[in-house]
Structure 1
């Protein structure tokens, strides 16, 4: 019974160590904060977060800005520009086959006027996404 408890406790401790906190310094383009020095008193702070919670990422960027301000010995900071980007890309991994219909626009111009017409074109599509 004692060995089962110790094994259970070891699994719990290892699971807690394996998960990384959301707020941390990014390494190799991963999730977390990075900053770059623009001038003696200006820095650019980036925060790349998991998921699509924009407000959480903005809060962490502001938090890092405040930390950086205190580390450099300043009392306050100013946000001069703010940009938020959410990347939601879903890739379908199954093979796809299908037809699509599009309209080609053809404009023919003469001496006096131009005439625009639309012609339907059918396209066969197939793809395997890797």
Structure 2
């Protein structure tokens, strides 16, 4: 025989379901897709023109974007930018991938343990005093990936390159990277 009302029995189940939904909801951030960054510092690709045929191309991804994907998106944008400006190929003068992290500090549960005092005896008997002894929780700090940024300094060109082994054909590269993304 159940003496508790039905709504009291449902509370633990509902609470557990809400906790699970919150935990799964927090971990479902998808990696940054190939998209233009709307503003400086936003996720996505962007570029800055440095000279007639030289650009800095950047792709910024979130914490779930891996390094290879960020680099591929920067290369894809470099290829599209090269073609859009009427060039056939580009070469990478400099490249850098930066993973930004933040420190996350967690404090474990604290405990209180009784601390035994010295036993003293008198006329009426013996007594052993005890007092609570606070033991703090363990403090741990770890670095967590916040976002990733892949940056390329490229020089664009037309016609036959002087050193064909160090250049990327813009159209072929875009064709190869586009279907995967």
TM range (shorter): 0.5 to 0.7
SS of alignment partner, residue 24 of structure 1 = coil
SS of alignment partner, residue 81 of structure 1 = strand
Q: Which has the larger radius of gyration?
A: 2
The equivalent residue for 2:74 is 61
Q: Using the alignment, how far apart are the partners of 1:65 and 1:27 within structure 2? A: 18
Question: Matches of residues 11-22 of structure 1 in structure 2 within 5 Å?
Answer: 22=33
2:38 to 8, 23, 27: 27
Q: CA RMSD in A?
A: 2.5
Contact residue 52 and residue 86 of structure 1 kept, 8 A: no
Q: Report the alpha carbon displacement of residue 27 of structure 1 after superposing the two structures with TM.
A: 1.9
Question: Which stretches of structure 1, 4 residues or longer, exceed 3 Å deviation after superposition?
Answer: none
- Higher relative contact order structure (alpha carbons within 8 Å, sequence separation ≥ 6): 2
Please, which runs of 5 or more residues in structure 1 have no aligned partner? 1-18, 95-130
Q: Report the alpha carbon displacement of residue 52 of structure 1 after superposing the two structures with TM.
A: 5.0
Contact residue 59 and residue 73 of structure 2 kept, 8 A: yes
Question: Does 2:102 correspond to 1:89?
Answer: yes
Q: Using the alignment, how far apart are the partners of 1:53 and 1:34 within structure 2? A: 18
Question: Does 2:32 correspond to 1:47?
Answer: no
Please, which runs of 5 or more residues in structure 2 have no aligned partner? 1-29, 108-181
Size of the alignment, in residue pairs?
78
The equivalent residue for 1:115 is none
